[in-house]
Amino acid sequence: MARHDRDTWDLASSVGTTATLVAAGRAMASAMPDALIDDPFAAPLVRAVGVDFFTAMIDGTLDVEAASALSPDRAEAMVNGMAVRTKFFDDCLQAATDAGIRQVVILASGLDARAYRLAWPEGTVVYELDQPDVIAFKSATLADVGAEPTADRRAIAVDLRDEWPKVLCDNGFDPHARTAWLAEGLLIYLPPQAQDDLFDRITSLSAPGSAVATEYVPGIVDLDADKARAASAPLRQHGLDIDMPSLVYTGPRTPVPGYLRSSGWTVTMASRDELFSRYGRPPAAGDDAGDPLGDIIYVSAELSSVTPPATAR
């Protein structure tokens, strides 16, 4: 079913399915012999969602190559891609806290367990924002496995289409303090104007010296829906009914790096290939790892100009 303005989801449906897929990728990346990341909570979270396809992925009982129609090298590259993506954003947040930032906001947090698995400096507050059902599920599941946050975790059940800045501030967020913002795997699921609105809100809530990390997918502008559906056909044959063209918003949108620069942010970019090289992973051969969306540009930025903070918007 195509997206609409007030659609909802859980972690086994619609956009939520992609959050569980990403968590399964983190679980597989964590199990690699030379793992870049260590996410011990990804696997129990995926199992708790209860989608057989994802459970088989992390348990090693699914023939990933057959299910994805990828060669062994391509399948390994996909797992490495999740490892380097996760490592990049981990490093961005660590750099922010190393610089003295103690306020972190994870937007559309899904099954992200960074509030539990990263070594946060004392006094760090981590805000997680997502749909109410997603927040409730993750909090309950991690409590059931005895997980304890390593920061002051404040889970906020709010839809990003609503007035989330006010809700964030009502939960103790200080717009006068520097903030590290994370928008991972989010932007392609937002309409173009909503993407701009998101960064306007982030900027209005950020003190100078704040940081933001995200990624930009140029291929979303002219996504070939037929190619994307063809790429996911083997997944459907193995029990995972996911139709990416119906979940994302295509068409022209503002390139993220330029938009941030125009709002006073100093921007640094890295391609996927650059991250593979940075983290010592073999280059992903072939046409953008078989991804119909094309290459991904990873973005980190620091707010350099003075912007009056807003209490809500």
Q: Specify the CATH class of 14-303 in words.
A: alpha beta
Which pLDDT does position 313 carry in this prediction? 42
> Which of 54-58, 67-71, 81-85, 196-200 is the least confident region?
67-71
Which tens digit of pLDDT belongs to each residue from 222-273? 777 777 677 666 666 666 777 777 788 888 999 999 999 999 999 999 999 9
- Sequence-distant (6+) residues with CB within 8 A of 190 are 160, 198, 249
Angle between helices 42-49 and 52-59 (to 10 degrees): 150
Distance of alpha carbon 93 from alpha carbon 176, whole angstroms: 19
Sheet architecture: strand order including 211-216: 152-157, 125-130, 103-107, 180-183, 211-216, 297-303, 265-271
Q: HSE of 297 in the Cβ direction (CA atoms, 13 Å)?
A: 14
3-state SS assignment for residue 256 = helix
Burial class (CB in 10 A: 0-12, 13-18, 19+), 306: exposed
Confidence of residue 274 (pLDDT cuts 50, 70, 90): very high
Give the residue with greater pLDDT, 305 vs 123: 123
Q: Is the pLDDT of residue 58 over 70?
A: yes
pLDDT classification of 126: cutoffs 50, 70, 90: very high
Task: Provide, rounded to the nearest whole percent, the portion of the chain with pLDDT above 90.
Answer: 68
Identify the sign of the CA torsion 198, 204, 205, 208. positive
How do residues 139-198 score in pLDDT, each as one tens digit? 999 999 999 999 999 999 999 999 999 999 999 999 999 999 999 999 999 999 999 999
**Amino acid symbol at 239:** G
Structure token pair of residue 104: 């972190």
Question: Tell me, what amino acid is at 30?
Answer: S
**Contact status, residue 78 vs residue 101, Cβ threshold 8 Å:** no
pTM of the predicted protein model: 0.91
- The identity of residue 55, as a single letter, is T
Maximum average pLDDT range among 75-79, 176-180, 238-242, 283-287? 176-180
Residues 6+ apart with CB under 8 A from 140: none
Over the stretch 37-56, which tens digit does the pLDDT of each residue have? 999 999 999 999 999 989 99
Q: Using the predicted structure, report yes or no on whether residue 284 has a pLDDT greater than 90.
A: no
Break the chain into its structural domains and give their ranges: 14-303
- Give the Å distances, CA to CA, from 103 to 182, 267, 306: 11, 20, 18
For residues 56-71, give the mean pLDDT.
71
Amino acid making up residue 105: V
Distance CA 36, CA 150 (A): 20
Return the amino acid letter for 130.
D
Residue pair 281/79 in contact (Cβ under 8 Å)? The answer is: no
Higher model confidence: residue 253 or residue 294? Answer: 253
